[in-house]
Amino acid sequence: MTEHQAVLARAREVAELAAREAAALARDYFTRDKQVQDKGDSGDLVTVADTLAEEIILAHIRAAFPDHEIRSEETGWHGAPGDWLWLVDPLDGTNNYAIGLPVYGVSITLLYRREPLLGVICDSHLDRLYVAEQGKGAFVDGAPLSIRRCPTVPRMTVGWIQGHAVGKEGRVLALKARLEGSFKRVLRLWAPALQWCMLARGDLDAMVLYNSEGDDLYAGLLLAREAGAAVVDFDGEPFEGMNAEPYLIAAHPDHLPELIALVRDGLKV
Tell me: is residue 205 an annotated ligand-binding position. no
50 is in an annotated binding site: no
Per-residue burial over 153-190, b if 16 or more Cβ lie within 10 Å, else e, is beebbbbbbbbeeeeeeeebeebbebbeebbeebeebb
d(CA 43, CA 165): 9
Q: Are strands 84-92 and 69-72 parallel, antiparallel or unpaired?
A: parallel
Residue 194: Cβ within 10 Å count:
27
194 is in an annotated binding site: no
Residue 41 annotated as part of some ligand binding site: no
The length of the chain, given as a count of residues = 269
Q: What residues are designated binding site?
A: 73, 89, 91-92, 216
Q: What residues are designated binding site for Mg(2+)?
A: 73, 89, 91-92, 216
